[in-house]
Every structure is written in structure tokens, then in C-alpha cells.
Amino acid sequence: MTGSLTRIVSWGHELLAEVVCPGDLAVDLTAGNGHDTLFLARLVAASGQVVAFDVQATALENTCRRLQEAGCQPRLHTGAEAPLTRQAGIDLVAAGHERLAEYLPAAPRAVVANLGYLPGGDPRLITRSESTLPALDQASRLLAAGGRLAVAVYLGHPGGQEEGDAVCRFFAELDEGIFQVLQMKVMNRPQAPFLVVAERTAGKV
């Protein structure tokens, strides 16, 4: 990895790259501006599948544009096309990530989320624990053995600390016989973003 020690998104990418192979299924719970979606697409390669969720039309438009500029041709789903078909390519879903289980066609090898608000967007539109926790619960239950769930948590906006606390409780309560959980944080910057990664080491929850 290059860059600052405190770039938690990059650390999350490193940890996901260790377990994802071409042909795998990967999920982006918060498409945002498409950075994670494109990263996952490169990991799974042309034979793999990425499913990315977002409720904001602007986010899906930004993600679609970024993917197209990289030579990808994503499929956009705006209706009730659930579950999705397991097929190579990138599926952008205009739905909340709490509907993950409805859409997912198979067990993912990687799931990523960047919480908070859309960079460059309306800071009042934020992820909230009411939808984030169900999404994380579904992701943990659906995750393939050996797969990883990586969540970047941001605290510096209104509501961020409350969501961060709820996310930490969720991961702390995962069954230690099924999951290993790692937290990475900047110890001398209390409001800095932090990363939580869970790896499924055993079978079903």
C-alpha cells in the first residue's frame, strides 16, 4: 500500500484484495462516487460480478460514469429486479443496502461499505444505523467462508458517532467461532475515520 498510514480506505482495500479472486462475487453497500465499486470490479475481473447499492441517483450516476471511463459497462437496476442473476459484470442497484438479501444471487467473497455521506453531495443525507445494521447483519450471514466484510466508519458529521457506536457493537457481538474481527483506528485522533473488517472463518451463522 502507498500513502499515509492513516488512509483506512486503502487498508480496507488491501485486506479485501487478499481474499478476492477473478470470477468471485463482491458487493459495495454504498456505491457513492464509485471508487470501491471500480476497485472490486478490478479484483473480480471480467469473469466476476460486482453488485453495488445506493439510494441516491447522483451516486449511481457518478459511479456509472466512473465505471464507463474505466471501460466498464454496468447494468442499472431501478425496479424490482430481485434477485439478480449470477452473471459476469457490474450491477448498480437503486435501492437501500438493507435490501441486500433480496438482490444477492450468491454468497459474496467481499463486502465493502463507506458510511457517512456522499463526498461532494448533501451532508444531510447520511447513512444511519436503522438501515446500516440490517445491511451488515445480512452481509455477515451471506458472506462466503473465507470472505471479508470491510466497513469504513466516519465520525465527524452529525449522527456519525451514534452510527459508529452501533457498528462497533454489531461487530463486537459476532460469534467468535465463526468470525475474526479486526479494528484499525488512529489512536491520537478520536474523530478520525476507522476501519472494521470481519472475516468468516467457518460455516453458516
Give the cell for residue 141. 450471514
Higher pLDDT, 182 or 119: 182
Q: Is residue 101 part of a domain?
A: yes
Query: What is d(CA 90, CA 48) in angstroms, rounded to the nearest whole number?
Result: 8
What whole-number distance in Å separates Cα of residue 113 and Cα of residue 53? Answer: 10
| Locus of grid cell 485486506 | 15
Would 205 be classed as within a structural domain? Answer: no
Task: Give yes or no for a contact between 119 and 58, defined as CB atoms under 8 angstroms apart.
Answer: no
- At 1, the pLDDT band (50, 70, 90 cuts) reads very low
Specify if 146 maps to a domain: yes
pLDDT of 121 > 80? The answer is no
1 in a domain, yes or no? no
> What φ, ψ does residue 148 adopt, rounded to 5°?
-130, 145
* Structural domain includes residue 134: yes
Residue 2 lies inside a defined structural domain of this protein? no
- Structural domain boundaries enclosing 195: 8-200
* pLDDT for 118: 74
Residue 183 lies in a domain: yes
Report the CATH number that the domain containing residue 80 is assigned in CATH: 3.40.50.150
pTM of the entire predicted model: 0.94
Q: Does any domain span residue 180?
A: yes
Residue 123 neighbours by CB distance under 10 Å: 12
Dist CA 121 CA 176 (whole Å): 38
Confidence tier at 194 by pLDDT (50, 70, 90): very high
How many domains is the chain built from? 1
For position 168, what pLDDT does the model report?
96
pLDDT digit string (tens) for 16-60?
999 999 999 999 999 999 999 999 999 999 999 999 999 999 999
